[in-house]
Protein backbone atom coordinates (compact mmCIF):
# COMPACT_ATOMS: atom_id res chain seq x y z
CA UNK A 1 0.00 0.00 0.00
CA UNK A 2 1.36 3.38 -0.96
CA UNK A 3 1.82 6.06 1.63
CA UNK A 4 -0.76 8.20 -0.22
CA UNK A 5 -3.40 5.50 -0.19
CA UNK A 6 -2.71 4.77 3.47
CA UNK A 7 -3.09 8.47 4.31
CA UNK A 8 -6.38 8.69 2.39
CA UNK A 9 -7.78 5.69 4.27
CA UNK A 10 -6.57 7.06 7.58
CA UNK A 11 -8.11 10.48 6.92
CA UNK A 12 -11.39 8.91 5.76
CA UNK A 13 -11.71 6.88 8.95
CA UNK A 14 -10.90 10.00 10.95
CA UNK A 15 -13.56 12.00 9.10
CA UNK A 16 -16.20 9.30 9.62
CA UNK A 17 -15.43 9.14 13.35
CA UNK A 18 -15.56 12.91 13.55
CA UNK A 19 -18.97 13.09 11.86
CA UNK A 20 -20.25 10.32 14.16
CA UNK A 21 -19.11 12.07 17.33
CA UNK A 22 -20.41 15.41 16.05
CA UNK A 23 -23.86 13.87 15.33
CA UNK A 24 -23.95 12.24 18.73
CA UNK A 25 -23.05 15.49 20.48
CA UNK A 26 -25.60 17.50 18.46
CA UNK A 27 -28.31 14.99 19.40
CA UNK A 28 -27.47 15.11 23.11
CA UNK A 29 -27.11 18.90 23.02
CA UNK A 30 -30.55 19.26 21.42
CA UNK A 31 -32.08 17.07 24.15
CA UNK A 32 -30.37 19.05 26.90
CA UNK A 33 -31.77 22.27 25.39
CA UNK A 34 -35.29 20.78 25.27
CA UNK A 35 -34.93 19.66 28.88
CA UNK A 36 -33.73 23.07 29.98
CA UNK A 37 -36.65 24.83 28.21
CA UNK A 38 -39.14 22.32 29.65
CA UNK A 39 -37.91 22.92 33.21
CA UNK A 40 -37.93 26.70 32.80
CA UNK A 41 -41.32 27.07 31.10
CA UNK A 42 -43.36 23.85 31.18
CA UNK A 43 -46.48 25.67 29.90
CA UNK A 44 -44.82 26.15 26.48
CA UNK A 45 -44.45 22.38 26.19
CA UNK A 46 -47.77 21.18 27.55
CA UNK A 47 -48.96 19.76 24.20
CA UNK A 48 -45.92 17.45 24.22
CA UNK A 49 -46.12 16.46 27.88
CA UNK A 50 -47.74 13.19 28.93
CA UNK A 51 -49.79 12.49 32.07
CA UNK A 52 -49.64 9.72 34.65
CA UNK A 53 -52.41 7.17 34.09
CA UNK A 54 -53.22 8.40 30.58
CA UNK A 55 -53.69 5.84 27.81
CA UNK A 56 -52.27 7.05 24.53
CA UNK A 57 -54.42 5.79 21.65
CA UNK A 58 -54.96 2.04 21.86
CA UNK A 59 -51.66 1.35 23.66
CA UNK A 60 -51.77 -1.56 26.11
CA UNK A 61 -49.94 0.29 28.89
CA UNK A 62 -50.73 3.53 30.65
CA UNK A 63 -48.31 6.43 30.81
CA UNK A 64 -46.42 5.88 34.10
CA UNK A 65 -45.82 9.51 35.13
CA UNK A 66 -46.23 13.20 34.24
CA UNK A 67 -43.57 14.80 32.11
CA UNK A 68 -41.62 14.94 28.91
CA UNK A 69 -39.90 11.86 27.46
CA UNK A 70 -36.48 13.25 26.60
CA UNK A 71 -34.22 10.18 26.54
CA UNK A 72 -35.30 6.97 24.89
CA UNK A 73 -34.44 3.34 24.51
CA UNK A 74 -31.03 2.82 22.91
CA UNK A 75 -29.94 6.46 23.36
CA UNK A 76 -26.27 6.87 24.18
CA UNK A 77 -25.16 9.28 26.91
CA UNK A 78 -21.46 8.48 26.41
CA UNK A 79 -19.54 6.29 23.97
CA UNK A 80 -20.27 2.63 24.61
CA UNK A 81 -23.41 3.31 26.64
CA UNK A 82 -26.96 2.41 25.55
CA UNK A 83 -29.96 3.55 27.57
CA UNK A 84 -32.37 0.75 28.49
CA UNK A 85 -35.62 2.68 28.87
CA UNK A 86 -37.39 6.04 28.86
CA UNK A 87 -36.33 8.98 31.04
CA UNK A 88 -39.49 10.97 31.73
CA UNK A 89 -38.73 14.36 33.28
CA UNK A 90 -41.52 15.70 35.46
CA UNK A 91 -42.50 19.34 35.41
CA UNK A 92 -40.45 21.45 37.82
CA UNK A 93 -37.64 20.43 40.10
CA UNK A 94 -39.50 19.55 43.29
CA UNK A 95 -38.95 16.04 44.55
CA UNK A 96 -41.69 13.83 45.94
CA UNK A 97 -44.67 15.47 44.18
CA UNK A 98 -44.86 14.14 40.59
CA UNK A 99 -46.83 10.87 40.74
CA UNK A 100 -45.63 7.54 39.35
CA UNK A 101 -48.29 4.90 38.60
CA UNK A 102 -48.41 1.28 37.47
CA UNK A 103 -48.43 1.07 33.67
CA UNK A 104 -50.38 -2.20 33.62
CA UNK A 105 -52.02 -4.69 36.00
CA UNK A 106 -49.23 -6.69 37.62
CA UNK A 107 -47.41 -8.05 40.64
CA UNK A 108 -45.05 -5.67 42.42
CA UNK A 109 -41.63 -6.57 43.82
CA UNK A 110 -39.36 -4.28 45.84
CA UNK A 111 -36.18 -6.01 46.89
CA UNK A 112 -35.03 -5.38 50.50
CA UNK A 113 -32.16 -3.10 49.38
CA UNK A 114 -34.18 -0.99 46.90
CA UNK A 115 -34.71 2.54 48.17
CA UNK A 116 -35.88 4.13 44.89
CA UNK A 117 -37.14 1.38 42.58
CA UNK A 118 -39.89 -1.18 42.10
CA UNK A 119 -40.48 -3.77 39.38
CA UNK A 120 -43.82 -5.19 38.24
CA UNK A 121 -44.46 -8.57 36.65
CA UNK A 122 -47.11 -8.61 33.92
CA UNK A 123 -48.83 -11.44 32.13
CA UNK A 124 -50.07 -11.54 28.54
CA UNK A 125 -49.48 -7.92 27.62
CA UNK A 126 -50.60 -7.38 23.99
CA UNK A 127 -47.56 -6.98 21.75
CA UNK A 128 -45.12 -8.38 24.31
CA UNK A 129 -42.44 -10.78 23.03
CA UNK A 130 -43.22 -13.33 25.77
CA UNK A 131 -46.13 -14.26 28.06
CA UNK A 132 -44.38 -12.61 31.04
CA UNK A 133 -42.76 -9.18 30.93
CA UNK A 134 -41.77 -6.67 33.61
CA UNK A 135 -41.86 -2.89 33.99
CA UNK A 136 -39.20 -1.16 36.10
CA UNK A 137 -39.55 2.27 37.77
CA UNK A 138 -36.50 4.03 39.25
CA UNK A 139 -35.18 7.25 40.89
CA UNK A 140 -38.04 7.50 43.41
CA UNK A 141 -35.88 8.80 46.29
CA UNK A 142 -34.43 12.14 47.38
CA UNK A 143 -31.17 13.49 45.93
CA UNK A 144 -29.24 12.44 49.06
CA UNK A 145 -30.92 9.02 49.14
CA UNK A 146 -32.25 9.63 52.67
CA UNK A 147 -35.96 9.76 51.79
CA UNK A 148 -37.73 7.17 49.68
CA UNK A 149 -40.71 8.41 47.69
CA UNK A 150 -42.13 4.92 47.10
CA UNK A 151 -45.69 4.61 48.39
CA UNK A 152 -45.74 3.24 51.99
CA UNK A 153 -47.88 0.27 50.89
CA UNK A 154 -44.77 -1.14 49.20
CA UNK A 155 -42.00 -1.35 51.83
CA UNK A 156 -38.63 -2.97 51.07
CA UNK A 157 -39.07 -6.74 50.87
CA UNK A 158 -42.45 -6.62 49.09
CA UNK A 159 -42.95 -9.56 46.73
CA UNK A 160 -45.69 -10.32 44.20
CA UNK A 161 -48.14 -7.77 45.51
CA UNK A 162 -50.98 -7.35 42.97
CA UNK A 163 -51.58 -3.81 41.75
CA UNK A 164 -54.06 -2.52 39.18
CA UNK A 165 -52.93 -0.34 36.28
CA UNK A 166 -52.91 3.27 37.46
CA UNK A 167 -52.11 2.44 41.11
CA UNK A 168 -49.87 5.06 42.73
CA UNK A 169 -46.39 3.57 43.18
CA UNK A 170 -44.59 6.68 44.42
CA UNK A 171 -43.19 10.01 43.25
CA UNK A 172 -40.31 11.17 41.08
CA UNK A 173 -37.03 11.95 42.84
CA UNK A 174 -33.40 12.75 42.10
CA UNK A 175 -31.54 9.80 43.61
CA UNK A 176 -28.86 8.53 41.21
CA UNK A 177 -27.18 6.01 43.47
CA UNK A 178 -24.49 8.56 44.31
CA UNK A 179 -25.40 11.39 46.75
CA UNK A 180 -22.68 13.64 45.30
CA UNK A 181 -24.15 13.46 41.79
CA UNK A 182 -27.96 13.57 41.95
CA UNK A 183 -29.83 13.31 38.65
CA UNK A 184 -32.41 15.78 37.32
CA UNK A 185 -35.95 15.06 38.51
CA UNK A 186 -37.23 12.15 36.43
CA UNK A 187 -38.55 8.62 36.24
CA UNK A 188 -36.55 5.91 34.53
CA UNK A 189 -39.08 3.48 33.05
CA UNK A 190 -38.12 0.29 31.25
CA UNK A 191 -39.76 -2.85 29.87
CA UNK A 192 -37.71 -5.84 31.01
CA UNK A 193 -37.66 -9.45 29.85
CA UNK A 194 -37.82 -12.54 32.05
CA UNK A 195 -34.98 -14.92 32.76
CA UNK A 196 -35.50 -18.59 31.81
CA UNK A 197 -36.14 -19.23 35.52
CA UNK A 198 -39.02 -16.72 35.48
CA UNK A 199 -37.34 -13.83 37.31
CA UNK A 200 -36.55 -10.43 35.88
CA UNK A 201 -33.47 -10.10 33.68
CA UNK A 202 -30.64 -7.62 34.37
CA UNK A 203 -32.24 -4.31 33.49
CA UNK A 204 -28.95 -2.52 32.79
CA UNK A 205 -28.33 -4.64 29.66
CA UNK A 206 -30.04 -3.29 26.52
CA UNK A 207 -30.66 -6.77 25.11
CA UNK A 208 -32.74 -7.64 28.20
CA UNK A 209 -35.10 -4.74 27.59
CA UNK A 210 -37.68 -3.68 25.01
CA UNK A 211 -38.43 -0.30 23.50
CA UNK A 212 -41.24 1.09 25.70
CA UNK A 213 -42.61 3.22 22.83
CA UNK A 214 -45.10 0.69 21.34
CA UNK A 215 -46.30 -0.34 24.81
CA UNK A 216 -47.09 3.29 25.68
CA UNK A 217 -48.28 4.32 22.20
CA UNK A 218 -45.82 7.21 21.92
CA UNK A 219 -43.84 8.24 18.82
CA UNK A 220 -40.58 10.08 18.37
CA UNK A 221 -40.90 13.58 16.91
CA UNK A 222 -38.09 16.14 16.81
CA UNK A 223 -36.01 14.13 19.24
CA UNK A 224 -38.62 13.59 21.96
CA UNK A 225 -41.47 11.10 22.30
CA UNK A 226 -45.03 12.36 22.24
CA UNK A 227 -48.52 10.92 22.27
CA UNK A 228 -49.64 11.67 18.68
CA UNK A 229 -53.35 11.21 19.34
CA UNK A 230 -53.14 13.60 22.27
CA UNK A 231 -51.42 16.22 20.14
CA UNK A 232 -54.12 15.95 17.48
CA UNK A 233 -56.80 16.39 20.11
CA UNK A 234 -55.18 19.45 21.63
CA UNK A 235 -54.29 21.21 18.38
CA UNK A 236 -57.69 20.79 16.68
CA UNK A 237 -60.29 23.44 17.54
Smallest distance, Zn ion to C-beta of residue 188, A: 3
d(CA 49, CA 16): 36
- Decide if 185 contacts 124 (C-beta within 8 A): no
d(CA 83, CA 50): 20
CB-based closest residue to Zn ion: 188
Grouping H, G, I as helix, E, B as strand and the rest as coil, residue 90 is: coil
Q: Which stretch binds Zn ion (CB under 5 A): 26-34, 44-52, 87-95, 113-121?
A: 87-95
d(CA 11, CA 107): 55
The string of DSSP codes covering 195-211 is PTTSSB--TTSGGGEE-
Residue among 115 and 188 whose Cβ is closer to Zn ion: 188
Counting residues that bind Zn ion (by CB under 5 A) gives 2
Q: Which stretch binds Zn ion (CB under 5 A): 83-91, 144-152, 161-169, 195-203?
A: 83-91
Q: Which stretch binds Zn ion (CB under 5 A): 80-88, 116-124, 143-151, 208-216?
A: 80-88
Among 75, 87, 193, 203, binds Zn ion (CB under 5 A): 87
Strands 86-89 and 187-193: antiparallel
Query: Which runs of consecutive H residues, i.e. helices, occur in the chain?
Result: 3-40, 213-216, 228-235
Q: Which stretch binds Zn ion (CB under 5 A): 30-38, 79-87, 150-158, 218-226?
A: 79-87
Among 173, 188, 215, 224, binds Zn ion (CB under 5 A): 188
Smallest distance, Zn ion to C-beta of residue 176, A: 10
Site track 147-186 with Zn ion (rule: CB under 5 A), x = hit: ----------------------------------------
Residue among 62 and 188 whose Cβ is closer to Zn ion: 188
d(CA 232, CA 237): 10
Residue among 81 and 164 whose Cβ is closer to Zn ion: 81
Smallest distance, Zn ion to C-beta of residue 30, A: 18
> Apex CA 216: angle with CA 68 and CA 27, to 5°?
45
* Strand ranges (E), 90-226: 99-101, 106-110, 118-123, 132-138, 158-163, 168-171, 187-193, 209-210, 219-221, 224-226
Q: Which stretch binds Zn ion (CB under 5 A): 17-25, 81-89, 169-177, 199-207?
A: 81-89
Residue among 17 and 187 whose Cβ is closer to Zn ion: 187
Site residues, Zn ion (CB under 5 A): 87, 188
Amino acid sequence: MTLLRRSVIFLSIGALLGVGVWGWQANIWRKIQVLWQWQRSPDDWHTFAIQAGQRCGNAPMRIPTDGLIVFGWGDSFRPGHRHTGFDIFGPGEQEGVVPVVAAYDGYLTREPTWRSAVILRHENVPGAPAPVIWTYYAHMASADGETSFIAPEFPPGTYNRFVKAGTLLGYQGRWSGNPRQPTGLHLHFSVVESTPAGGYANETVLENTNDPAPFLGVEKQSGIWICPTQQRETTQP
